[in-house]
Amino acid sequence: MYLEIVSPEATLFSGEVDSVTVPGVTGEFEMLKDHAPIVSILKEGHVKVAGSVTLEEEVEDKFTKADNGVWLAINSGTIEMKDNKLIILAD
């Protein structure tokens, strides 16, 4: 699945990942390849990206490295998942 994380300042990440877990307003949920189309609002929490993630040097400090991926702290945001492409607009 292709993931793109965009903030007001810059594109923080774009690339292929295994899964993404996000803090939805009614609870945390995970998306994998072939997930049904969805649009959702996000609340404060962590976006957890699993897979072989390579970060650009200028944004590495925004992420926390985890065992099988990275985490990104957000205050709020929105997501759209369609045709194995997930776009996260994060604040």
Number of separate domains in the chain = 1
Average pLDDT of span 30-56 = 96
> The domain containing residue 45 runs over which residues?
2-90
CATH number of domain containing 58: 2.60.15.10
User: Which distant-in-sequence residues (6+ apart) come within 8 Å of 22 by Cβ?
Assistant: 28, 29, 30, 31, 40, 42, 45, 47, 48, 79, 88
Q: Which of 65-69, 74-78, 80-84 has the lowest mean pLDDT?
A: 65-69
Record the pTM.
0.94
Read off the DSSP letter of residue 20.
E
Distance, CA of 24 to CA of 16 (rounded, Å): 22
Please give the pLDDT value at position 67: 86
Q: Please report, rounded to a whole number, the percentage of residues in the chain having pLDDT higher than 90.
A: 96
Let me know: does 20 contact 70? Beta carbons within 8 Å.
no
Please give the pLDDT value at position 72: 97
pLDDT band of 84, cuts 50, 70, 90: very high
Distance, CA of 53 to CA of 15 (rounded, Å): 8
